[in-house]
Structure 1
C-alpha cells in the first residue's frame, strides 16, 4: 500500500487555476455581450431617451422643463 506523493505547491496552483477559470466563466456570462447586442441596447436606450424628452411638458417659464 503505497501512498501517492503530492506536491502541495502544484496542487494549490491547480486549484487556484480552476477557481480562476470558474470565476472568468461566470463573468463572461454575466457581462459578456456581442457587439450587435451592445449596439442594439444602445439604440434602444437612445430611442427611450428621445421619447422621454418628447413627452416632457414645457412650463413656459424661462425655458425650464422641470
Structure 2
C-alpha cells in the first residue's frame, strides 16, 4: 500500500524549504560588510582597467 501523507504537512514543508532558499539567497546578496563590498568593487575595477589596457585599437 501507499504511504499516507498529510497534505497540510507536505504544503508546510514545501513552503519552509522555499523560505530557506530565499533566506540563503538574501544572506549571500546582503550579508557582506561594507569593507568586503569595497574590496570586491576595487578588485573588479582593477581587472576592468587591466583588460582595457590590453585592448587593441583599430
TM-score, normalised by the number of residues in structure 2: 0.57
Residues in 1 aligned to 2:17 and 2:2: alpha-carbon distance in whole angstroms: 25
1:21 deviates by 0.3
Which runs of structure 2 are paired with 1:1-66 in the superposition (5 Å)?
Answer: 2-33=1-32, 37-38=33-34, 40=35, 41=38
Question: Please, which runs of 5 or more residues in structure 1 have no aligned partner?
Answer: 42-66
Count of equivalent residues: 36
Greater percentage in helix? 2
- Bigger relative contact order, structure 1 or 2, given CA contacts below 8 A and separation 6+? 1
RMSD across aligned C-alpha pairs, in angstroms?
1.1
Q: Which runs of 4+ in 1 moved over 6 A?
A: none
Larger Rg: 1
After superposition, give the CA deviation of every residue in 1:1-20 in whole Å (9 maximum; x if it has no partner): x1111100000000000000
The runs of 5 or more residues in structure 2 that have no matched partner are 39-58
